[in-house]
């Protein structure tokens, strides 16, 4: 097993030539030496990374379709637009088409975030609180 040692010090003077670098402390400054496990050996980290991989894959595969009057958008769980379909009759009035596209896009982002939150909760078993802008 690989170990990492931390020196716990106090009153360590800075190196006068390189202020960002700390001078090596004399032994009177060392309070303790602590051995810790490296991050990659912490228990449960492998399981967490596995869940993160499953979440990323599930969100890429997730599909949300939103229809406006003349526009249909398809999003994935990462809030990326995968497809845009326009009805030919909508192209006659560009102003209304633009407004319809904006409404469909905003609704798609909201629905995609909700579907992503539900999928993450399903995979992890965690309950994600409603935090605006998070998901």
Picking from 46-50, 77-81, 121-125, which range would have the lowest pLDDT averaged per residue? Answer: 46-50
Domains of the chain and any CATH numbers: 4-41 (no CATH), 45-124 (3.30.1310.10)
Q: How would residue 126 be classed by pLDDT, with cut points 50, 70 and 90?
A: confident
pLDDT of residue 131: 65
Mean pLDDT for 120-133 is 79
pLDDT of residue 1: 46
Q: How would residue 4 be classed by pLDDT, with cut points 50, 70 and 90?
A: very low
Q: How would residue 67 be classed by pLDDT, with cut points 50, 70 and 90?
A: very high
User: Who contacts 66 (Cβ-Cβ below 8 Å, separation ≥6)?
Assistant: 72, 73, 74, 75, 104, 105, 107, 108, 111
């Amino acid at each position: 097993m690989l170990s990492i040692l931390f020196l716990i010090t106090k009153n360590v003077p800075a190196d006068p030539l390189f202020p960002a670098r700390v001078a090596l402390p004399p032994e009177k400054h060392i309070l303790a030496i602590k051995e810790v496990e490296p991050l990659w050996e912490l228990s449960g980290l492998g399981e967490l990374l596995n869940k993160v991989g499953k979440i990323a894959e599930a969100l890429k595969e997730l599909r949300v379709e939103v229809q406006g009057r003349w526009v249909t958008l398809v999003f994935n769980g990462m809030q990326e637009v995968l497809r845009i379909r326009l009805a030919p009759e909508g192209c006659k009035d560009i102003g209304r088409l633009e407004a319809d596209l904006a409404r469909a896009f905003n609704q798609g982002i909201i629905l995609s975030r909700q579907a992503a939150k539900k999928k993450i909760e399903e995979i992890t078993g965690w309950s994600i609180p409603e935090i605006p802008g998070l998901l």
